[in-house]
Structure 1
Amino acid sequence: MNLIAWNCQGLGVALTARNLKEECFRKKPHLVFLMETKQKARYVRKLRRRCGFDEEWIVDPVGRSGGLALWWSNVLTVNILFSSVNIIHTSVMSAAFSTPTYITFIYGPTDDGDRMLCWQEVRRISNNIRTSWLCLGDFNDIMSQDEKCGGVPRAWKRIWNFKSFVTHCELEDLGYNGSWFTWCNNRDSPDTIYECIDRALGNLQLREQFPSLQVFNIDPARASDHHLLFIQCQYENYKENRPFRFEAAWASHA
């Protein structure tokens, strides 16, 4: 199973929509999670069809901010168990391949109080999970000072709160391949700030079910301040078998 998670910061931007479509056709994900769509359902639905997905769950933005979209192909059966402006919690099944039993998609609020309420809701969800669980998105939080470069250091209390939330839910960071940071404010030095706030988390059961799972951190041509996360639950590094070709220059050597 392949997934994409991206804080696209507005699907109405032509470059963003084009890059998203290209990544979908290149990576062929079975499921896509988008944050900060900033568009009503009608527009998001139209783009979903252009990207080749069959089903959807859309959370409209509040005013000009926010908005979530979950798209998936009909090879999956996705049940929405809980939905809000920051969380979409689902159970997933497929007759074609193995999937995590539960996937929770998160767009962490920027306000400290709202973010703590969001973590409380995910903690409540975790109390009922006994099988494989994947949790991914833009958490708007970091787990150590090493995950931020530039600007004012993150308050230790905020880091501790996030790490406590992850520990309570019995999750662990799944890491990723690519750039160390997933977000940049795109300002000129010395005001440039980098952070690792987009991530995928999984429980022990997920690790046991998908030991080869890989997460890739991809920068889609600066269409957004955030990088795109591409998750392959069953990753296989295929090597291309090249045909043998005789070089004419070899004939000049004994």
Structure 2
Amino acid sequence: MRRYRNRLGVKGFCGVDSIGMSGGLALYWHESYDVVVLDKDERHIDALVQVHGETAQWRITCVYGEPRVESRHMMWTKLQNLKNINDLSWLVIGDFNEALWNFEHMSASPRSEQQMLAFRDALEICGLVDLGFKGVPFTYENKSSGAGNVKVRLDRAVAKNAWRNLFAFASVTHVPSPCSDHVALVLKGEADPGPTVGRCRRYEVFWERDSTLPEVIKEAWEAVGVVQTCPS
């Protein structure tokens, strides 16, 4: 994972190797950020973040949740223990391996309400609020067809209100990947500036259903006046 630093154009790196073909965590950062890694294991990387020249310091925890249902309570206990370390503005992002609500799970078999309730309770105790998303509704699909197909929102970003106040325009976008059964989470701390060029106007075919269209076109041409063309 360390070799990807050059491809990403960054110098900072902290990683946890995968076990077999699953798991593994990596945190990369640009040199314009001061990052102090507090703790790491196969389920999380916990770090402090500060931009050079700014006073605000905040905290990020990257997670890979327990894949086994019977062990999932260990992840919720870990989150609660991490919460007690300090009172900084806190962002937690990654694959929690659990959904929050029934509508975040689509398959032939319903998801356990008890599992989801335990996840919701853990976030409430930690004061973490879901940041929402733009894009496709599910972050994981098992790629099976028919009744065997499963789609779930397992990946998300959650944060304390203090972090949300620091990044009031933060947004999360789900970006599908051809190389993974999970989407990528793209988190932006600032609002998009929007297009800097003029909007391109296009002709819409459905306008032709309006009986007043010929008159509108005639008035538009009359408003332009006489147009002179140069001889070719």
TM-score, normalised to structure 2, is: 0.81
The corresponding residue for 2:190 is 234
Letter in 1 for 2:196: E
Q: 1:209 aligns with which of 139, 162, 166?
A: 166
Letter in 1 for 2:30: S
- Secondary structure at the counterpart of residue 97 of structure 2: coil
Q: Does the 8 A contact of 1:75 with 1:96 survive in 2? A: no
Deviation at 1:199, TM superposition (A): 0.2
Post-superposition Cα deviations, 1:12-52, rounded to whole Å, max 9, x if no partner, equal xxxxxxxxxxxxxxxxxxxxxxxxxxxxxxxx222221221
**Distance change in 2, residues 1:143/1:99 (3 Å):** farther
Deviation at 1:232, TM superposition (A): 0.7
The corresponding residue for 2:125 is 168
For the pair 1:63 / 2:20, whether they are aligned, the reply is yes
Letter in 2 for 1:91: L
What is the percent sequence identity of the aligned residues?
A: 28
Deviation at 1:113, TM superposition (A): 3.7
* Higher CA-based Rg: 2
Post-superposition Cα deviations, 1:197-224, rounded to whole Å, max 9, x if no partner, equal 100001110111111111111112x210
Deviation at 1:251, TM superposition (A): 9.2
**C-alpha distance in structure 1 between counterparts of 2:94 and 2:105, whole Å:** 17
**C-alpha distance in structure 2 between counterparts of 1:116 and 1:231, whole Å:** 27
**C-alpha distance in structure 2 between counterparts of 1:72 and 1:134, whole Å:** 15
Letter in 2 for 1:95: H
The corresponding residue for 2:100 is 143
Alignment of 1:117-196 (within 5 A): 117-196=74-153
Structure 1: stretches of 5+ with no match in the other structure: 1-43
**Distance change in 2, residues 1:76/1:190 (3 Å):** same
The corresponding residue for 2:181 is 225
- Secondary structure at the counterpart of residue 205 of structure 1: helix
Deviation at 1:146, TM superposition (A): 0.4
**C-alpha distance in structure 2 between counterparts of 1:62 and 1:235, whole Å:** 37
Q: Does the 8 A contact of 1:48 with 1:71 survive in 2? A: yes
Letter in 1 for 2:122: F
**C-alpha distance in structure 1 between counterparts of 2:223 and 2:163, whole Å:** 58
**C-alpha distance in structure 2 between counterparts of 1:147 and 1:193, whole Å:** 11
Q: Does the 8 A contact of 1:100 with 1:206 survive in 2? A: no
Count of residue pairs the alignment pairs up: 206
**Distance change in 2, residues 1:47/1:159 (3 Å):** same
- Secondary structure at the counterpart of residue 190 of structure 1: helix
**C-alpha distance in structure 2 between counterparts of 1:113 and 1:183, whole Å:** 20
**C-alpha distance in structure 1 between counterparts of 2:198 and 2:126, whole Å:** 46
TM-score, normalised to structure 1, is: 0.75
- Secondary structure at the counterpart of residue 168 of structure 1: helix
The corresponding residue for 1:13 is none
**Distance change in 2, residues 1:234/1:155 (3 Å):** same
Q: Which has the higher contact order (CA 8 A, sep 6+)?
A: 1
For the pair 1:104 / 2:82, whether they are aligned, the reply is no
Structure 2: stretches of 5+ with no match in the other structure: 201-219, 226-232
**C-alpha distance in structure 2 between counterparts of 1:103 and 1:56, whole Å:** 14
